[in-house]
Structure 1
Amino acid sequence: MPEKRPFPEGQGPNGDAKRTKGSDAMAAARAKAAEIAARFAKKPASNGASATPPQPAAAAPVSDAQAKLAAMKARMAALKGEKVDAKSATPEPTGPRFATTLGNRRLSETPKVEAKPKSAPKQDEELENPYFDPKAAALTKSRGPRVLVFNEHGKYLDQASKLRAQARLEKIQRMLALQARRAGLDENTERGFLVQPPPDIEWWDEGIVPDKNYDCIDDPDKVKIDSDDSIITIYVQHPPLLKAPQDQRLVQVKPMYLTTKEQAKLRRMRRAADLKEHQAKIRLGLEPPPPPKVKRGNMMRVMGEQAIADPTAVEMLVESQIQQRHDDHVTANEERKLTKEEEHAKLAANQEKDARKGLYMCVFKINTLAFGKHRFQIDNNGKQLALTGVTLFNPELNLVVIEGGAYAINKYKKLMLHRINWQENAPPTESQVEKQASDPKWLRPVDEEGNTKDHSGNKCILIFEGEIKQRSFRKWGSRVCETAGEARETLGRAKLDSLWALAKSME
């Protein structure tokens, strides 16, 4: 058999040293006595001199509490500006390890921290705090108390006088511009043919570039496309669907027309159905039976003996019934007839429906409109057809601009190009003389001597016709323009000043 391992030293059956209960108790007593002696040696003597503690046989190891205390002393010394040598901080001998005793000892050994200026920790906080802004602190320190600031005497009086002078200057400029237009200084200019230059930047690009031009379009850093404040986002904006212009002008399919025989057949079938329903109601007692319909042809057969006895009375009765039926028929037709208000409402609805299908514009040029009848026809028909536009009276030429639906425009074209006799002229009546008293001489049908003007060369031509998106005028009206400048200004308000140059170029 292999040999067994020997027992540890001093143990086992052959061991010569055995621990006894008495030896263990003695070792514990010695340790307790040494601990009490160390505690009493730590306390100060009664005469004010500190007693020298007995030196232990062996140096006790440094505890964790003592190491933390030494580190705290080093940090405090560093704050005061002192240099602490780590080697000089010798750990104190090991004290008691009981919880109550150790706590009391820490409280008694805690050093008192001297008062120090607040600037040093603030600097450390400024360096360590990431949310500290020195600019804000500087502004806070430099802010002083508010002081009263009084306005100088006459400050607002000077401002008011400057504003009044500016208003007078603008008024003078407007008067000079109006006088220049009336004098016809800009009559021969080519402003009507000039095309306006394009803008520096389009309105849809104003939110993408910071400037009011395209100079920075090549710099990707300045173009707001991928930035947070860009108007371009990941969301898709779907515009509303609009009807196509040609869909608004679709001709409604009317029902198929019937021949005369088919219409009579339908009428007989409808009347027969109504008669059967009426007879059924009479049989059920819901309606009273109608009186016999007596006519001249069936008078003797219906009335019988009464007609033979007194034919004159029967004839008068038949004639009264015939007249009553005729009056009932006329009354029913009048009840179905529309009133004046309903007719106007129906006409306005039809005109609005015609305008919704599409708007058109026509421009007519007339040499002279001195005859009052022509002016009345132009004005009255434009109002009746619910057209918008303007009639410009000028010594050189007259312009008529109209806007409206297709039906109304076609009606007005026939009036202007075919129905009106433009060579016609006649002296004014007494009522017309009173109305034309304030008109200029070139707008009267007679000359200074009272003779009727010759209109044999007067004519009307269509210089423009086309479809438009929206109306340029809100209502129908007319204006007398002494000069070409005033006529251009009137058309310029509707952005149609080029029509005057077009009319002058067409002879």
Structure 2
Amino acid sequence: MALSRQELDELRPYVSSITSDVLGFPETAVVSAAMDCVSKNLEKEKIALHLRTLLDDLAPSFVDKLSDKVEQIKQSRTAGESTGRKRKREGFSEAVGDSGKEPKKRLRTRFDLNDEDISNVPYAVEEPVNAAGLTRSQIDDVMETTMKQIEARKQQLQIGTGVPSVVGGGNVLQSATSAGMHPISTPAISHRDALMQEAVEKARKAAELNAKIQQTLAAKPSLLSNLGAAKLISDPEKLLEQAKPAPLILDDKGRTVDESGKAIQLTRRIPTLKANIRAKKQELFKMEKPKVEDTSQNPYYDLRVRGGFHVRSKRSFTFHEKGKFEQLAQKLRAKAQLEKLQSEISSVSKKSSISTATRLALIAPNQEDDDPIPDVEWWDAVILPNETYADIVINITDGRDPISTKYRGITNLIEHPIQRRPPAEPRRVVPLPIIMTKKERKKLRSQRRRDVEKEKQEKIQLGLEPPPPPKVKISNLMRVLGNEAIQDPTKIEAHVRAQMAERQRKHEEANAARKLTKDERKAKVLKKIIEDTSLGVHVAVFRVRDLSNPAHKFKVDMNAQQYHLTGCTILFKDVNLVIVEGGPKALKKYKKLMLHRVKWEQQKKGRARDSDKQSSEENKCDLVWEGTNKERSFIDWKIKQVAAEVFARDHLRKYGVEHYWDLALSRSIVEEDDKE
């Protein structure tokens, strides 16, 4: 489920923030790559693989945060859609009944309550009561019920004097039953009788519901505030008289009191302005500052635990100091003047050919910090007794060559050092394999098969093995079987064909047993590709001026993985460094790819080029260095993009090969100066 454009726009600031948290500085390339992966709805592993070239080891943590945020957005959207669908279904189910037609709207009376609605009767809600002991909701319900009863009574009176009253539901039912009236048993019913029977039926249902409500209220006394409310409900006329608003009575102090003189607590007005509501909330949720405890005498107190709560500082206006922007303008003018002066100096230095030496000196490593001068050289420390040059005493009394004192390990004997094996040579001499021609291999195979058959015949002659059954075929059927084939040819033919099928089956089973499995075939192919680098590792360093073309980058990456080479690719402006390590065969093929097969002058399709600024000879690949090392410097293959030269050198310093970058960068500087 991909994200919409609006959700992607909301996600972009979050991606930018986590990029700054992970890298320590904003990087638009990482943000663009991450948003591209999210818009394509890629999986978590694929996103980590795409961003590994930009973030290196920080990619897993970055992808985890990004995936959590995307899942949160998707879950919120799914919850909103399900809520909308639920509301829509509820509205449709209320508007349309089981029959599919819209039901007629009618007023709901207290007789329409069922057992489930009784628990939600408005009389049980705690609201302010009046002088009669009734709440506002109780008064409204009683008024509505009374008005409906009055309307029903008016309709019955308009029908005729023979129709009984509807108010007394129980009496109507008894009179109708005693008279023998029933809507189903009456044979001929007039219009007035039908109306009367309908009124009787409604009165009967109302009486049943009223009895059920009374039973429920008796079982749950908490539904009514007091017994007076129940009596008033049974007597509507008395309720109407008491439901009138009570008169306002004030005492001498201005307080509201009832008829007995008892003070009444009126409902307070709730402020509606947002400022008043905000002030009220601040008073309710005002937190007191915690008391600082004395922890000096507490032996169980951990000093590493930070005490107190973090309180957010109040935002306030910050005004600029006078003259701030004037100083900023002066700095900008001084910077522009300095750049102008530097450009003049660089133009003069180019004419005097000192620019190249200066730039090379800047990138040269600091030898004083990396390799300080020792007090005693290691070859002298072996023979000096106290490993100091102060032990040397020169005797010049005899007038001849200076004679040194006795040193450790120096005698009048000649020492012959032990000859050691070079690290690149194998421990055992492997004999060269004998390469035979096709005719020689065929002859050797025939001899081996002849010897096996001869050994088998000798075992049969000695009785060690039973003789094999005759190999019967359709062609030699008559010659092998003779009279048996003439007596029952059909049976013999079926027997021969069964033997032929059995021989074919055994042959196929033997081939299947010799067939390699999928893992064995894969291991066989890897054995041919992966070379033994225990005696030495071949290394090659290439410099590509422009590696922005995705096709070129794909070839460099995939071929290194397919040849099982280790190393890395550093992407930086016009110094794109490719370092590969592996066996001699794989490195030979990769070298041919980088120097001959890839057409570096071809640009990306659909990309316009300026003929005045670029030419087909500008982009090329150079072999910076090629040689062998004792061990591998890298453990895997990766591509890393850097924003400055310092980051590239720091990355290679982790593997101890920062001199590769110095060599490639120095060559690029020399080439630029030669062009100028």
TM range (shorter): 0.3 to 0.5
Structure with the greater alpha carbon radius of gyration:
1
Which structure's relative contact order is higher, taking Cα pairs within 8 Å and 6+ residues apart? 1
Q: Which has the higher helix share?
A: 2
